[in-house]
Protein backbone atom coordinates (compact mmCIF):
# COMPACT_ATOMS: atom_id res chain seq x y z
CA UNK A 1 0.00 0.00 0.00
CA UNK A 2 1.02 3.67 -0.20
CA UNK A 3 3.36 4.40 2.73
CA UNK A 4 4.05 8.05 1.87
CA UNK A 5 1.28 10.62 1.70
CA UNK A 6 1.10 14.32 2.54
CA UNK A 7 -2.16 13.70 4.41
CA UNK A 8 -1.54 10.61 6.56
CA UNK A 9 1.18 8.50 8.10
CA UNK A 10 1.11 4.83 9.00
CA UNK A 11 1.58 4.17 12.70
CA UNK A 12 2.29 0.43 13.00
CA UNK A 13 3.97 -2.37 11.11
CA UNK A 14 0.58 -4.09 10.89
CA UNK A 15 -0.68 -1.06 8.98
CA UNK A 16 2.08 -1.54 6.42
CA UNK A 17 0.94 -5.15 5.98
CA UNK A 18 -2.78 -4.66 6.63
CA UNK A 19 -5.14 -7.46 7.55
CA UNK A 20 -8.59 -7.29 5.92
CA UNK A 21 -11.17 -5.09 7.62
CA UNK A 22 -14.05 -4.86 5.15
CA UNK A 23 -16.12 -2.23 7.01
CA UNK A 24 -15.22 1.41 7.65
CA UNK A 25 -17.11 3.35 10.35
CA UNK A 26 -16.75 7.12 9.79
CA UNK A 27 -17.10 9.46 12.78
CA UNK A 28 -15.97 13.03 12.06
CA UNK A 29 -16.65 15.64 14.76
CA UNK A 30 -17.47 19.22 13.88
CA UNK A 31 -20.74 19.08 11.97
CA UNK A 32 -24.33 18.49 13.06
CA UNK A 33 -24.61 15.91 15.84
CA UNK A 34 -27.67 16.46 18.05
CA UNK A 35 -27.59 14.50 21.29
CA UNK A 36 -23.82 13.87 20.90
CA UNK A 37 -24.59 10.57 19.18
CA UNK A 38 -21.50 10.48 16.97
CA UNK A 39 -19.04 11.28 19.74
CA UNK A 40 -20.71 9.02 22.31
CA UNK A 41 -20.57 5.99 20.01
CA UNK A 42 -16.94 6.52 18.97
CA UNK A 43 -15.77 6.91 22.57
CA UNK A 44 -17.84 3.89 23.60
CA UNK A 45 -16.29 1.68 20.91
CA UNK A 46 -12.75 2.73 21.81
CA UNK A 47 -13.40 2.18 25.53
CA UNK A 48 -14.92 -1.29 25.22
CA UNK A 49 -13.33 -2.94 22.16
CA UNK A 50 -9.79 -4.01 21.34
CA UNK A 51 -8.20 -1.54 18.93
CA UNK A 52 -4.96 -0.11 17.56
CA UNK A 53 -4.07 3.04 15.68
CA UNK A 54 -3.08 2.22 12.11
CA UNK A 55 -2.88 5.69 10.56
CA UNK A 56 -2.97 9.34 11.61
CA UNK A 57 -3.92 12.24 9.38
CA UNK A 58 -1.83 15.41 9.22
CA UNK A 59 -4.20 17.90 10.81
CA UNK A 60 -1.91 20.82 9.96
CA UNK A 61 -2.89 20.20 6.33
CA UNK A 62 -6.60 19.88 7.07
CA UNK A 63 -7.68 22.01 10.03
CA UNK A 64 -8.35 25.76 10.26
CA UNK A 65 -7.09 26.45 13.79
CA UNK A 66 -8.44 30.00 13.91
CA UNK A 67 -12.01 28.90 13.10
CA UNK A 68 -12.23 26.28 15.83
CA UNK A 69 -9.61 27.50 18.35
CA UNK A 70 -8.38 24.36 20.17
CA UNK A 71 -8.36 24.73 23.96
CA UNK A 72 -5.26 25.28 26.06
CA UNK A 73 -4.81 24.99 29.82
CA UNK A 74 -3.33 27.95 31.72
CA UNK A 75 -2.21 27.21 35.28
CA UNK A 76 -1.65 30.37 37.28
CA UNK A 77 1.55 31.58 35.64
CA UNK A 78 2.17 29.27 32.67
CA UNK A 79 0.57 27.31 29.84
CA UNK A 80 0.42 23.66 30.83
CA UNK A 81 -1.46 21.74 28.16
CA UNK A 82 -2.89 21.90 24.64
CA UNK A 83 -5.86 19.90 23.29
CA UNK A 84 -4.42 19.36 19.84
CA UNK A 85 -6.81 18.30 17.07
CA UNK A 86 -6.53 14.75 15.79
CA UNK A 87 -7.92 12.57 13.03
CA UNK A 88 -7.09 8.90 13.46
CA UNK A 89 -7.83 5.61 11.71
CA UNK A 90 -8.23 2.69 14.14
CA UNK A 91 -8.46 -1.03 13.49
CA UNK A 92 -11.10 -2.30 15.91
CA UNK A 93 -12.28 -5.84 16.71
CA UNK A 94 -15.96 -6.34 17.56
CA UNK A 95 -17.32 -8.64 20.27
CA UNK A 96 -17.45 -11.56 17.83
CA UNK A 97 -13.84 -11.13 16.73
CA UNK A 98 -14.60 -9.41 13.42
CA UNK A 99 -12.30 -6.49 12.51
CA UNK A 100 -13.45 -3.13 11.19
CA UNK A 101 -11.95 0.33 10.75
CA UNK A 102 -13.00 3.42 12.71
CA UNK A 103 -12.10 6.84 11.35
CA UNK A 104 -12.55 9.27 14.21
CA UNK A 105 -11.53 12.84 14.93
CA UNK A 106 -11.95 16.40 13.73
CA UNK A 107 -13.69 17.05 10.44
CA UNK A 108 -11.26 18.57 7.91
CA UNK A 109 -11.76 22.24 7.06
CA UNK A 110 -9.64 22.06 3.92
CA UNK A 111 -8.87 19.71 1.00
CA UNK A 112 -11.96 17.55 1.28
CA UNK A 113 -11.41 15.80 -2.05
CA UNK A 114 -7.76 15.06 -1.27
CA UNK A 115 -8.73 13.80 2.18
CA UNK A 116 -11.37 11.53 0.66
CA UNK A 117 -8.85 10.18 -1.84
CA UNK A 118 -6.47 9.39 1.05
CA UNK A 119 -9.27 7.55 2.90
CA UNK A 120 -10.03 5.64 -0.29
CA UNK A 121 -6.36 4.58 -0.55
CA UNK A 122 -6.38 3.31 3.02
CA UNK A 123 -9.70 1.58 2.44
CA UNK A 124 -8.35 -0.25 -0.60
CA UNK A 125 -5.38 -1.47 1.43
CA UNK A 126 -7.66 -2.94 4.10
CA UNK A 127 -10.20 -4.35 1.66
CA UNK A 128 -13.01 -2.01 2.71
CA UNK A 129 -16.25 -2.69 0.81
CA UNK A 130 -18.81 -1.04 3.09
CA UNK A 131 -18.96 2.30 4.90
CA UNK A 132 -21.27 3.30 7.76
CA UNK A 133 -21.84 6.39 9.89
CA UNK A 134 -24.29 7.56 12.56
CA UNK A 135 -25.20 10.92 14.02
CA UNK A 136 -28.12 12.84 15.53
CA UNK A 137 -30.33 15.52 13.98
CA UNK A 138 -32.66 17.84 15.96
CA UNK A 139 -36.39 17.24 15.46
CA UNK A 140 -39.62 18.50 17.04
CA UNK A 141 -40.27 15.21 18.85
CA UNK A 142 -40.66 14.35 22.55
CA UNK A 143 -38.11 12.25 24.41
CA UNK A 144 -40.96 10.17 25.87
CA UNK A 145 -41.77 8.45 22.58
CA UNK A 146 -39.82 5.84 20.56
CA UNK A 147 -36.68 7.24 18.95
CA UNK A 148 -37.15 7.76 15.23
CA UNK A 149 -34.43 7.79 12.62
CA UNK A 150 -33.66 8.35 8.97
CA UNK A 151 -31.73 5.53 7.35
CA UNK A 152 -29.95 6.03 4.06
CA UNK A 153 -27.91 3.85 1.75
CA UNK A 154 -26.20 4.04 -1.64
CA UNK A 155 -28.37 1.04 -2.56
CA UNK A 156 -31.84 1.82 -1.10
CA UNK A 157 -33.03 -1.75 -1.73
CA UNK A 158 -30.79 -2.84 1.17
CA UNK A 159 -32.85 -0.79 3.62
CA UNK A 160 -35.81 -3.19 3.42
CA UNK A 161 -39.20 -1.94 4.57
CA UNK A 162 -38.33 1.69 5.22
CA UNK A 163 -40.53 4.75 4.79
CA UNK A 164 -38.49 7.94 4.30
CA UNK A 165 -39.37 10.91 6.49
CA UNK A 166 -37.95 13.48 4.08
CA UNK A 167 -38.33 13.97 0.36
CA UNK A 168 -35.72 15.68 -1.81
CA UNK A 169 -34.04 18.48 0.14
CA UNK A 170 -30.89 20.60 -0.05
CA UNK A 171 -28.70 20.32 3.07
CA UNK A 172 -25.32 21.79 4.07
CA UNK A 173 -22.44 19.56 3.02
CA UNK A 174 -20.05 17.87 5.41
CA UNK A 175 -16.82 15.96 4.84
CA UNK A 176 -18.53 12.84 6.21
CA UNK A 177 -21.47 13.12 3.80
CA UNK A 178 -19.19 13.85 0.83
CA UNK A 179 -17.03 10.87 1.81
CA UNK A 180 -20.13 8.66 1.65
CA UNK A 181 -21.05 10.04 -1.77
CA UNK A 182 -17.57 9.69 -3.29
CA UNK A 183 -16.97 6.18 -1.95
CA UNK A 184 -20.37 5.11 -3.27
CA UNK A 185 -19.36 6.50 -6.68
CA UNK A 186 -16.22 4.36 -6.39
CA UNK A 187 -18.36 1.23 -6.00
CA UNK A 188 -18.53 0.81 -2.22
CA UNK A 189 -21.80 0.32 -0.35
CA UNK A 190 -22.41 3.21 2.04
CA UNK A 191 -24.92 3.25 4.91
CA UNK A 192 -25.94 5.95 7.34
CA UNK A 193 -28.24 6.54 10.30
CA UNK A 194 -29.51 9.98 11.34
CA UNK A 195 -31.27 9.60 14.69
CA UNK A 196 -34.09 12.04 15.49
CA UNK A 197 -33.19 13.84 18.72
CA UNK A 198 -35.65 16.13 20.56
CA UNK A 199 -34.59 19.68 19.69
CA UNK A 200 -34.53 20.69 23.36
CA UNK A 201 -31.89 18.00 23.99
CA UNK A 202 -29.75 18.75 20.94
CA UNK A 203 -26.88 20.25 22.93
CA UNK A 204 -26.68 17.53 25.58
CA UNK A 205 -25.93 13.82 25.60
CA UNK A 206 -29.15 11.90 24.86
CA UNK A 207 -28.54 8.26 25.70
CA UNK A 208 -31.66 6.84 24.06
CA UNK A 209 -30.50 8.22 20.71
CA UNK A 210 -27.09 6.56 21.06
CA UNK A 211 -28.70 3.21 21.92
CA UNK A 212 -31.03 3.48 18.90
CA UNK A 213 -28.09 4.37 16.68
CA UNK A 214 -25.85 1.49 17.74
CA UNK A 215 -28.75 -0.97 17.36
CA UNK A 216 -29.39 0.34 13.84
CA UNK A 217 -25.70 0.07 12.90
CA UNK A 218 -25.59 -3.52 14.12
CA UNK A 219 -28.70 -4.28 12.09
CA UNK A 220 -27.23 -2.71 8.94
CA UNK A 221 -23.72 -4.13 9.23
CA UNK A 222 -23.85 -7.35 11.26
CA UNK A 223 -21.34 -6.02 13.79
CA UNK A 224 -21.63 -7.37 17.35
CA UNK A 225 -21.14 -4.44 19.71
CA UNK A 226 -21.45 -3.97 23.49
CA UNK A 227 -24.51 -2.02 24.56
CA UNK A 228 -24.88 -2.59 28.32
CA UNK A 229 -23.15 0.61 29.39
CA UNK A 230 -24.98 2.67 26.77
CA UNK A 231 -28.34 1.34 27.97
CA UNK A 232 -27.43 2.15 31.59
CA UNK A 233 -26.34 5.66 30.58
CA UNK A 234 -29.61 6.14 28.70
CA UNK A 235 -31.56 5.26 31.84
CA UNK A 236 -29.61 7.81 33.86
CA UNK A 237 -30.15 10.56 31.30
CA UNK A 238 -33.89 9.83 31.19
CA UNK A 239 -34.08 10.15 34.97
CA UNK A 240 -32.15 13.42 34.87
CA UNK A 241 -34.42 14.82 32.17
CA UNK A 242 -37.55 13.93 34.15
CA UNK A 243 -36.14 15.56 37.28
CA UNK A 244 -35.40 18.76 35.37
CA UNK A 245 -38.87 18.79 33.82
CA UNK A 246 -40.51 18.45 37.24
CA UNK A 247 -38.63 21.56 38.30
CA UNK A 248 -39.51 23.50 35.15
CA UNK A 249 -43.27 23.61 34.40
CA UNK A 250 -42.78 25.66 31.22
CA UNK A 251 -40.43 23.06 29.76
CA UNK A 252 -42.82 20.28 30.75
CA UNK A 253 -45.62 22.09 28.93
CA UNK A 254 -43.50 22.14 25.78
CA UNK A 255 -42.92 18.39 26.06
CA UNK A 256 -46.65 17.77 26.66
CA UNK A 257 -47.47 19.71 23.48
CA UNK A 258 -44.91 17.72 21.49
CA UNK A 259 -46.41 14.48 22.82
CA UNK A 260 -49.88 15.52 21.62
CA UNK A 261 -48.57 16.43 18.19
CA UNK A 262 -46.54 13.24 17.94
CA UNK A 263 -49.49 11.04 18.94
CA UNK A 264 -51.75 12.88 16.49
CA UNK A 265 -49.23 12.32 13.69
CA UNK A 266 -48.84 8.61 14.51
CA UNK A 267 -52.62 8.17 14.60
CA UNK A 268 -52.90 9.90 11.23
CA UNK A 269 -50.29 7.56 9.78
CA UNK A 270 -52.13 4.55 11.20
CA UNK A 271 -55.44 5.65 9.68
CA UNK A 272 -53.81 6.19 6.29
CA UNK A 273 -52.36 2.70 6.51
CA UNK A 274 -55.78 1.25 7.31
CA UNK A 275 -57.36 3.14 4.42
CA UNK A 276 -54.64 1.88 2.12
CA UNK A 277 -55.26 -1.69 3.30
CA UNK A 278 -59.01 -1.34 2.72
CA UNK A 279 -58.41 0.20 -0.68
CA UNK A 280 -56.21 -2.75 -1.60
CA UNK A 281 -59.21 -5.07 -1.09
CA UNK A 282 -61.37 -3.15 -3.56
CA UNK A 283 -61.66 -4.46 -7.14
CA UNK A 284 -59.55 -2.67 -9.70
CA UNK A 285 -60.99 -0.46 -12.44
CA UNK A 286 -60.37 -3.26 -14.97
CA UNK A 287 -62.22 -5.77 -12.79
CA UNK A 288 -65.19 -3.42 -12.35
CA UNK A 289 -65.24 -2.74 -16.10
CA UNK A 290 -65.22 -6.46 -16.90
CA UNK A 291 -68.12 -7.12 -14.53
CA UNK A 292 -70.12 -4.24 -16.01
CA UNK A 293 -69.51 -5.49 -19.53
CA UNK A 294 -70.59 -9.01 -18.54
CA UNK A 295 -73.74 -7.65 -16.90
CA UNK A 296 -74.71 -5.66 -19.97
CA UNK A 297 -74.27 -8.73 -22.14
CA UNK A 298 -76.15 -11.12 -19.85
CA UNK A 299 -77.47 -9.88 -16.48
CA UNK A 300 -78.24 -13.46 -15.36
CA UNK A 301 -74.59 -14.61 -15.45
CA UNK A 302 -72.86 -11.40 -14.37
CA UNK A 303 -73.05 -12.28 -10.72
CA UNK A 304 -75.22 -13.73 -7.97
CA UNK A 305 -78.64 -12.10 -7.54
CA UNK A 306 -79.55 -10.61 -4.15
CA UNK A 307 -81.16 -13.03 -1.72
CA UNK A 308 -84.94 -12.98 -1.80
CA UNK A 309 -86.23 -10.48 0.70
CA UNK A 310 -82.98 -8.50 0.71
CA UNK A 311 -83.16 -4.91 -0.53
CA UNK A 312 -82.02 -4.74 -4.15
Q: Give the pLDDT of residue 113.
A: 97
pLDDT attached to residue 162? 74
Q: How many domains does the chain have?
A: 2
Rounded to whole angstroms, the maximal C-alpha distance in the chain is 105
Q: 277 and 192, same structural domain? A: no
DSSP string, 30-62: TB--GGGHHHHHHHHHHHHS-EEEEEEE-HHHH
Residue 189 within any structural domain of the chain: yes
My answer on whether 213 and 154 are in the same domain is yes
Quote the strand ranges of the chain, DSSP E.
8-10, 23-29, 51-57, 72-75, 78-82, 87-93, 99-106, 130-139, 149-153, 189-198
Residues 191 and 69 in one domain: yes
Inside any domain, residue 301 = no
> Is 60 inside a domain boundary?
yes
Task: Tell me, yes or no, whether 305 lies in a domain.
Answer: no
Same domain membership, residue 209 and residue 263: no
Question: Which domain CATH number covers 81?
Answer: 3.40.50.10900
pLDDT score recorded for residue 284? 52
Tens-digit pLDDT string for the chain (312 aa) = 454 578 999 987 766 677 899 999 999 998 899 999 999 999 999 999 999 999 999 999 999 999 889 999 999 999 999 999 999 999 999 999 999 999 999 999 999 999 999 999 999 999 999 999 999 999 999 999 999 999 999 999 898 877 777 788 898 999 999 999 999 999 999 999 999 999 999 999 999 999 999 999 999 999 999 999 999 999 999 999 999 999 999 999 999 999 999 998 888 777 765 555 555 555 555 555 555 556 556 655 444 444 444 444
| Beta-bridge partner residues of 24 | 101, 131
Identify the domain containing residue 75 by its residue range: 8-230
The pLDDT value given to residue 272: 66
Query: What was the pLDDT predicted at 146?
Result: 93
pLDDT at 302 (0 to 100):
46
Whether residue 32 sits in one domain with residue 163: yes
**118 is a domain residue:** yes
For residues 25 and 100, membership in a common domain is answered with yes
Closest CA to 120 of 208, 260, 1: 1
For the entire predicted model, the pTM comes to 0.83
Q: What is the pLDDT of residue 305?
A: 45
> Do 110 and 199 sit in the same domain of this protein?
yes
Amino acid sequence: MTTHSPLFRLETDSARQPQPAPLLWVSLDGFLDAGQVRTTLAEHLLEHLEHEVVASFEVDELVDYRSRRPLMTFEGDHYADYDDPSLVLYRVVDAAGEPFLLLHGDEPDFRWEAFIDAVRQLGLAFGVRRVVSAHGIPMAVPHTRPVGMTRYCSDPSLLGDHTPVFGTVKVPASAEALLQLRLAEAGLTTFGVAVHVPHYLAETQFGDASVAAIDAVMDLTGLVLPTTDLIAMAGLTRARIETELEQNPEAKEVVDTLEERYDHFVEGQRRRSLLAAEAAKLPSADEIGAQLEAFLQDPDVAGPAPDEGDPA
